[in-house]
């Protein structure tokens, strides 16, 4: 595993997204370069592969979203926001990661889904979020962000150690924040990106440009609940990147928010993510 584009990795073993970029003559931006594993979430090299639904069927059934269509695409800011690559439209029920082993899918992932289901499908979201709920939600959103990162058209930014650790806990390099969304178009939205902005020392601009490229910021919306999941490279702390106008649920804050008290944004892209080099929010 390496994040150095100049260290050789057999292109035939990379993700299709990376292979397509190389075939088109592009130089790969900073990213995790790993051969596609048998399972993205464990060290298994053989066994039975299964299809891990990125957004579980129980969630889609609850919201009547089994046939909601998604059209994954990548936007290049270097090209002025033009669509740089895209995949065909598909219903959410067919939106899955096929590189997950059956042991993970039917084991810890199924257990995590069972714990998250009553939280994400409760009728009234008014009470204070408990520590147990915060940990379950943060781990579920982190797992979902990783599923999106390994399977969708974007740079791979979560290395094997962080992915594998999700089987038992939330790795230290993740932070998870919640907010509420006023406007919804369908039930599910997501985006993967880098931090939006920040003030850094003038003599470290190049360093932070690279660290920013290696930082994964994922916005996920489920109905009117939005989450921002941050995963940072090894040189940073998880709280060095802060989505403004959100409430942190992991790492656990001194006081967790109520559902009703979560900050509100017009849409799921509302929170602006900046460097937070001064410490915790």
Residue 256 tokens, joined = 């967790």
Single pTM value for the model = 0.91
Residue 74: in which H helix or E strand, if any?
A: strand 73-76
Q: What is the pLDDT of residues 89-111, one digit of tens each?
A: 778 888 889 999 999 999 999 99
Residue 7 pLDDT more than 80? no
Distance separating alpha carbons of residues 228 and 218, to the nearest angstrom: 6
pLDDT (0 to 100) of residue 228: 98
Q: What is the pLDDT of residues 14-57, one digit of tens each?
A: 998 899 889 888 889 899 999 999 999 999 999 999 999 999 99
Residue 247 pLDDT more than 60? yes
Contacts of 45 (CB under 8 A, 6+ apart): 37, 38
Highest mean pLDDT among 7-11, 80-84, 185-189, 201-205: 185-189
Alpha helical stretches, state H, 24-130: 57-62, 102-106, 108-120
Q: Burial code of 14-52, b = ≥16 C-beta within 10 A, e = fewer?
A: bbebbeebeeeeeeeebbbbbeebebbbbebeeeeebeb
Residue 83 pLDDT more than 50? no
Measured in whole angstroms, the distance separating CA 208 from the mean position of its chain's CA atoms is: 21
Instruction: Quickly state the pLDDT bin for 2 (edges 50, 70, 90).
Output: very low
pLDDT (0 to 100) of residue 70: 79
pLDDT (0 to 100) of residue 88: 65
Distance separating alpha carbons of residues 28 and 22, to the nearest angstrom: 7
């Amino acid at each position: 595993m390496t994040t150095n584009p100049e260290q050789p990795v057999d292109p035939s073993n990379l993700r299709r997204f990376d292979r397509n970029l190389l075939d088109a003559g592009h130089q790969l931006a900073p990213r995790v370069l790993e051969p596609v594993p048998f399972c993205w979430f464990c060290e298994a090299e053989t066994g039975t592969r299964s299809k891990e639904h990125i957004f579980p069927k129980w969630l889609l059934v609850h919201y009547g979203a089994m046939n909601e269509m998604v059209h994954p695409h990548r936007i290049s800011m270097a090209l002025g926001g033009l669509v740089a690559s895209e995949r065909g439209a598909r219903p959410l029920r067919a939106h899955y990661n096929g590189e997950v082993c059956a042991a993970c899918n039917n084991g810890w992932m199924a257990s995590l889904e069972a714990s998250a289901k009553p939280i994400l499908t409760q009728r009234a979201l008014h009470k204070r979020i408990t520590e147990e709920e915060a940990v379950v939600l943060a781990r579920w959103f982190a797992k979902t962000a990783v599923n999106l990162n390994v399977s969708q058209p974007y740079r791979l930014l979560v290395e094997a150690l962080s992915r594998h650790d999700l089987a038992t806990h939330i790795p230290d390099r993740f932070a998870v924040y919640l907010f509420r969304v006023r406007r919804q178009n369908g039930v599910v939205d997501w985006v993967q990106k880098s931090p939006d902005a920040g003030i850094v020392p003038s003599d470290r601009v190049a360093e932070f440009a690279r660290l920013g490229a290696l930082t994964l910021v994922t916005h996920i919306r489920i109905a009117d609940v939005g989450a921002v999941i941050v995963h940072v490279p090894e040189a940073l702390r998880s709280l060095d990147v802060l989505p403004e106008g959100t409430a942190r649920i992991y790492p656990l804050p001194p006081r967790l928010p109520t559902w009703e008290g979560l900050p509100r944004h017009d849409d799921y892209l509302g929170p602006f993510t900046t460097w937070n080099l001064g410490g915790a929010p």
